Structure 1
Amino acid sequence: MRQVSVGRRLLARVWRMLSGRVQWRVARIRHRTFLVYAAGIVRDEEGRILLLRHRLWPPYRAWGLPGGYVNAGERLEDGVAREVREETGLQVRVAGPPVWLASGFRFRVEAYYEAELVGGRLDLDPGEILDGRWYAVDGLPQEMSPRLRDLLIALPAPGGSRQGR
């Protein structure tokens, strides 16, 4: 059994005396911060997926899902709905768990959700978005992340069957 040093015992005692708020602030200083990106997989009545050509993304992977960084204190699902609305003018409802989580990036964690279209009309934010189109899974644009392409192809189609080429 490994001995715990006097210093570690003292540190543990001090830690327990701190309030949860102070503990949280110390932990934030000690650990690197991650950005959390959340995106919505929005489908039309034909099952096609909305993809956006993003102004700020490199041309070789400019097409992607509506999404963005989640604000501090914001639920991931609410972040998806907000980002979809800001980028497209569409209103969505996010119900259910993420369909995919990705980590391993230097300072970023990603969460992808199915997002049900419930209202609005497509009105793209020209500051961020160059184009927006509905794509069938077998006709996705070449200028997108291979990882995202693989995810979209692997998702069950509306109604439950697997999509594919």
Structure 2
Amino acid sequence: MNNFLARLWLLIRGPLQWRLLWLWNAKFMIGVTGVVRDEEGRVLLLRHRMWPPDRQWGCPTGYANRGEKFEDTVIREVREETGLHVKVGSLIHLKSGYRLRVEAAYEAAFIGGTLAIDPTEILEATWFSPHDLPQGLQESHRLLIQRTQP
């Protein structure tokens, strides 16, 4: 039976293989976070409206759009949530094992723009010293900030 399936697989090369793989495999949302620093080493943190009240502070974050590079997700999310422009650096975190989600986090450097938050998602945006982070910061984001200390 396995030989038959292997031969059949080879016969249906191309788009049909991709469609079958797509149907067979799990679909994931990709959560992407940016640890954004300015020239002074401060970290950009946002107080997110949709997050639990006791832990609303975190880095800019959002889900990747279909076909979007994760680095582009960081750039887009920072711009949408704050109006700021960033240059994306190294991948600092990649984690799977969630039911339908994968997480990726990147370092990013502030390169310009004027702070203008999106009030539908963000309540407040502030630059913080990595040594003086706010109460209510997501613990996973605190660890990302510590991991990227200059």
**What is the TM-score when the length of structure 2 is the normalising length?**
0.92
Cα offset for 1:37?
Answer: 1.2
CA distance in 1, matches of 2:77, 2:16: 31
* SS of residue paired to 1:99: strand
- Corresponding residue for 2:62? 68
After TM superposition, the runs of 4+ consecutive aligned structure 1 residues lying more than 6 A away are: none
Matched, 1:88 2:82: yes
CA distance in 1, matches of 2:93, 2:8: 39
- Corresponding residue for 2:134? 141
- Residue of 101, 113, 138 corresponding to 2:106: 113
CA distance in 2, matches of 1:14, 1:107: 30
Q: Gaps spanning 5+ residues in structure 1: where?
A: 1-5, 158-165
Amino acid paired to 2:145: L
Q: Which has the higher strand share?
A: 2
Matched, 1:130 2:123: yes
Aligned residues: 150
CA distance in 2, matches of 1:23, 1:9: 17
Cα offset for 1:35?
Answer: 0.7
Which is worse superposed, 147-156 or 57-66? 147-156
Cα offset for 1:60?
Answer: 2.1
Amino acid paired to 2:105: Y
Cα offset for 1:19?
Answer: 3.2
How far does the alpha carbon of each residue in 1:84-129 deviate from its partner, in whole angstroms, 9 at most, with x for none? 111110111113x301112222211111111121221110001111
Among all aligned residue pairs of Structure 1 and Structure 2, give the percentage whose two residues are the same amino acid: 49
CA distance in 1, matches of 2:79, 2:107: 15
The root-mean-square deviation of aligned C-alpha atoms, in Å, is 1.4
- Corresponding residue for 1:12? 6
* SS of residue paired to 2:20: helix
Cα offset for 1:147?
Answer: 2.1
